[in-house]
Chains A and B, each alone.
Chain A
Amino acid sequence: QQQVKQSPQSLIVQKGGISIINCAYENTAFDYFPWYQQFPGKGPALLIAIRPDVSEKKEGRFTISFNKSAKQFSLHIMDSQPGDSATYFCAASTGSARQLTFGSGTQLTVLP
């Protein structure tokens, strides 16, 4: 069963545009929601994260919006750049080891 559903599977955006990736979760025990960025040949790296008591978090050009009642959260990349081209994963964690459940990933391509 997929506890975190991510869309779209792929996204093409022009340089300077806004990239939006959406995720929805089912397990109400999740209490931490990070986004990871993965470049080809590399492991994923933490990009930004949010807790459910906050509706929005912004770090530079990256913003997470969180809707607890709808059990949805999204990543917005403002002024998208070709260097942002990567695969993005949303995730959610719970448990003593903070084990993460990942979404299926979104391959973002930013055209120059």
Chain B
Amino acid sequence: DVKVTQSSRYLVKRTGEKVFLECVQDMDHENMFWYRQDPGLGLRLIYFSYDVKMKEKGDIPEGYSVSREKKERFSLILESASTNQTSMYLCASSFQGSDYGYTFGSGTRLTVV
């Protein structure tokens, strides 16, 4: 069963901490994406990557960075967590240039206190 796996289902961190959210896919997809989901705002694109070591800013990249050292793994980094980054974070992947749709992970619920 093909899938996107996010390392943590729930995470609680303190303000100012450096936070790593990990995502691994086993479908050999070229594209990987990080979204955050907030009630009433839908899913907003933070960063995406279309190849190893390549990254592009999405709509809300401020306060975040990403790393893609291997094709199957895409990490989201919160350099200094703040309370307004409390959210559900969703990772997704897809084939390059296709419209077969994204495969999403189940999400990481991050709470920053």
| A residues at B contact (CB < 8 Å) | 6, 9, 32, 34, 36, 41-46, 49, 51, 89, 93, 96-105
Contact = CB atoms under 8 A, between A and B. Distances in A.
Nearest to B30: A97
A26 to B, nearest CB: 14
B50 A104 contact: no
A98 B31 contact: yes
The 5 closest A-B pairs by CB, nearest first: A43-B104, A46-B101, A102-B43, A104-B42, A97-B50
Contacts of B97: 96, 98
Nearest to A100: B102
Nearest to A4: B42
Given A44-B90, A45-B104, 15 more contacts: A6-B42, A32-B99, A43-B104, A43-B106, A49-B99, A89-B42, A96-B50, A97-B33, A97-B48, A97-B94, A98-B98, A99-B48, A102-B43, A104-B40, A104-B42
B4 interface: yes
Given A41-B106, A43-B92, A97-B96, A102 B101 contact: no
A44 B42 CA distance: 11
B90 A43 contact: yes
B69 interface: no
B98 A97 contact: no
Given A41-B106, A97-B31, A97-B48, A102 B98 contact: no
A9 B42 CA distance: 10
B41 interface: yes
B99 A97 contact: no
B43 A89 contact: yes
A43 to B, nearest CB: 3
B56 interface: yes
Interface in B13-40: 31, 33, 35, 40
A105 B42 contact: yes
Contacts of B94: 97-98
